[in-house]
Structure 1
Amino acid sequence: MKVTSKQIAEICGVTRGTVDRALNNRPGISAETRQKIMKVAEELGYRPHFLAQSLVKGETKTLGIVLFDIHNRIFSQLFHSFEAEARKQGYFIYLVLSNKDKELEIEYINSLLDRKVDGIALSPINKGTKFESFLNRSNVPILSFGNRLSARFPFVWIDDKQAIKEAVSHIVSRGYRTFIYVSPPLRNKGKENIYVPEQRHKGFLEACKALTDIRYHVITDRDYLMTIKRLVNEAEDKPAILCSSDIYALDILRFLKTHKIRVPEHVGVMGFDNIDILNYVNPPLTTIDFNVDEIGRRSAELLIENIKGKDIPLRTNVGYTIIDRDSL
């Protein structure tokens, strides 16, 4: 049975107000009475009523974070750094996974609001004015990362468009003139929030169109591997496969090896994200690294600053670096 402050007051022969002052280290009681109350509370295993305290203070010291899933190492790593920063500042985290389900995402956000979280960080799958109006009605600070909402909501990520442009320049500097760009999420354009794939795609197109004597193909098929095989076989010169994510690049490396297409002798491959599993890949994959830990830490830090009433930037860009390995 849960021990109450009323029971402690009865045992100690004092008022509930006196117990409250002792438990919350407030003045107005003697050291002897405080010590007696604290000793009884400890012996009985007393724990304060968290929700009742939250109502009085107007905050719960909790945050919500909404991710697609944690199968992708980017998201699991981001969550760890987000949670570590929040915990350092005295906040507890509710983690929910939308699984890229728009209705489930809204249901989970409502659940977080029902639990009176002080703020929410999310990588949204929903978008548009109706969804943003729903978020505004929550009356709690909202911050996004990865997929962006409109400029009205603070956003923490990298400059995806510029990063892909630099990737194209890097590949061209290695002598490639034929590109195969792989981004299956683009097939969902207009159906859901795919801000990150769209920005990377825009950057790729802008980079290619700014160059002369460049040939390129964009693959958005769900079953992209057979299309890649056909394009590699038809290419007049050695092509470079640029992927919008390391996950696709790893799949392609395995597929090419199965079909005895050597990397980089027959085709070059480059990914994006620098997930930690790349440490075990052969040949080592050229990719773009960005500081996921910094994104998680800054997201928590800025969200908490916003909760405390401080103005925060509407866009925070984290740096990135091309990691040149043996796959080009």
Structure 2
Amino acid sequence: MKVTSKQIAELCGVTRGTVDRALNNRPGINEATREKIMKVAGELGYRPHFLAQSLVKGQTKTLGIVLFDMYNRIFSQLFHAFEAEARRHGYFVYLVLTNKDKALEIEYLNNLLDRKVDGIAMSPVNMGPTLDSFLKESGVPVVTFTNRVSAKVPFVWIDDKQAMKTAVHHIASKGYQRILYVSPPLRYKGKSNIYVPEQRYKGFIEACTELPDISYTVITDYDYLESLLRLIAESDEKPAILCSSDIYALDVMRFLKVNDIRIPEQAGVMGFDNIDILHYVDPALTTIDFHVDEIGRRAAEQLIASIQGRDIPRRTHVGYAIIERDSL
């Protein structure tokens, strides 16, 4: 049978208000009484009725987090950090996966709102004024990461454009004069929210413009590996293959090995994200590292601050660094 705060009050000889102050760690109660109430509650296996509390307090102590999927290790790392920070503040987290389906994303957002979550963190697939208005009208605080919605919605991530510029300059400093840039998501431009790939592409083009000795080709094909092989064969000049994420870089490295193209002797490869499975890759992949755990932690921290009525920045950038390994 479920134990109630009323029963605890009767057993301890105090009012329900005193029990409520003890269980919720609020002032106005002496320490001996608090300890007695907590001891009785523990012995009886008392668990708070969150639904009843939400009716009184207007909060459910729950958050929603909306991700593309868990195939990319970036998202699983980010979620673990987000959930740990939320739990530290006493929040339970609902996780939903959209699989980059725009209709499913809206359905899941509505489901989370129906469950009266106090706030939502999301990596959006949808974009534009329609999503902006939807989030505003939802009535709950929202924080985004990876893809941005608008300047009105708080965003926690890295400066992708500047980070990619840093990557290009690093490649040039290694003596490469030809770069093959692999970014298949760019073919969805205008069809879906690809803020991150677009920012990385802008950084790539800006950097190449600043380096007149660099020639480059951008590869966005679905069959990007075959296109890559053709472009490598067309020139005797050793290229650097710069990928918009480590996932593509790992595919490229596997494909080059299958086709007997040595890395880095015949082609250099560089990724972006520094996902944790790179520890098992040979040759070790040069990449851009950023603090994914910090993004998850700060997204949760800022979302909770917003729920509490505090002002939070509209844009938060975490740091990044080149991790130089053997593939360039």
Amino acid at match of 1:110: N
2:12–2:37 contact (8 Å) kept in structure 1:
no
Cα distance change of structure 1 residues 81 and 190 upon mapping to structure 2, 3 Å threshold: same
Cα distance change of structure 1 residues 204 and 12 upon mapping to structure 2, 3 Å threshold: closer
Of stretches 82-91 and 169-178 in structure 1, the one that deviates more from structure 2 is: 82-91
Gap regions ≥5 residues in structure 1: none
1:208-266 CA-to-partner distances (Å, cap 9, x unmatched) read 12221322111111111111111111123101100000000001101100110000010
* Equivalent residue number for residue 249 of structure 1: 249
* Equivalent residue number for residue 145 of structure 1: 145
Deviation at 1:79, TM superposition (A): 0.8
Alpha-carbon distance in structure 1 between the residues aligned to 2:11 and 2:242: 72
Cα distance change of structure 1 residues 24 and 191 upon mapping to structure 2, 3 Å threshold: same
Deviation at 1:18, TM superposition (A): 3.2
* Equivalent residue number for residue 18 of structure 1: 15
* Equivalent residue number for residue 131 of structure 2: 131
Cα distance change of structure 1 residues 36 and 253 upon mapping to structure 2, 3 Å threshold: closer
Deviation at 1:3, TM superposition (A): 4.6
Give the RMSD, CA atoms, in angstroms.
2.4
Of stretches 47-56 and 308-317 in structure 1, the one that deviates more from structure 2 is: 47-56
Alpha-carbon distance in structure 2 between the residues aligned to 1:93 and 1:163: 31
Match status 1:63 vs 2:60: no
Deviation at 1:112, TM superposition (A): 1.1
Alpha-carbon distance in structure 1 between the residues aligned to 2:173 and 2:8: 75
Alpha-carbon distance in structure 2 between the residues aligned to 1:307 and 1:113: 14
Of stretches 263-272 and 51-60 in structure 1, the one that deviates more from structure 2 is: 51-60
Cα distance change of structure 1 residues 270 and 308 upon mapping to structure 2, 3 Å threshold: same
Alpha-carbon distance in structure 2 between the residues aligned to 1:45 and 1:237: 71
- Secondary structure of 1:309 counterpart: coil
- Spell out the pairing of 1:25-104 with structure 2 (5 A cutoff): 25=22, 39=40, 45-104=45-104
1:33-66 CA-to-partner distances (Å, cap 9, x unmatched) read x969974x66664433211111101112211111
- Spell out the pairing of 1:137-286 with structure 2 (5 A cutoff): 137-286=137-286
2:131–2:149 contact (8 Å) kept in structure 1:
no
Amino acid at match of 1:170: H
Q: TM-score, normalised by structure 2?
A: 0.91
Cα distance change of structure 1 residues 290 and 42 upon mapping to structure 2, 3 Å threshold: closer
Deviation at 1:116, TM superposition (A): 1.2
Deviation at 1:98, TM superposition (A): 1.0
2:21–2:29 contact (8 Å) kept in structure 1:
no
1:246-303 CA-to-partner distances (Å, cap 9, x unmatched) read 0000011011001100000100100000011111111111100001111111111111
- Secondary structure of 1:95 counterpart: strand
Alpha-carbon distance in structure 2 between the residues aligned to 1:20 and 1:323: 56
Cα distance change of structure 1 residues 7 and 294 upon mapping to structure 2, 3 Å threshold: closer
1:164-191 CA-to-partner distances (Å, cap 9, x unmatched) read 1111111011111111100011111111
Sequence identity, in percent? 68
1:165–1:203 contact (8 Å) kept in structure 2:
yes
Amino acid at match of 1:237: E
- Secondary structure of 1:137 counterpart: helix
Alpha-carbon distance in structure 1 between the residues aligned to 2:286 and 2:326: 7
* Equivalent residue number for residue 302 of structure 1: 302
Alpha-carbon distance in structure 2 between the residues aligned to 1:42 and 1:165: 57
Alpha-carbon distance in structure 2 between the residues aligned to 1:2 and 1:171: 64
Cα distance change of structure 1 residues 236 and 209 upon mapping to structure 2, 3 Å threshold: farther
1:22–1:38 contact (8 Å) kept in structure 2:
no
Alpha-carbon distance in structure 2 between the residues aligned to 1:95 and 1:111: 11
Q: TM-score, normalised by structure 1?
A: 0.91
Alpha-carbon distance in structure 2 between the residues aligned to 1:264 and 1:37: 63
1:179–1:240 contact (8 Å) kept in structure 2:
yes
1:19–1:37 contact (8 Å) kept in structure 2:
no
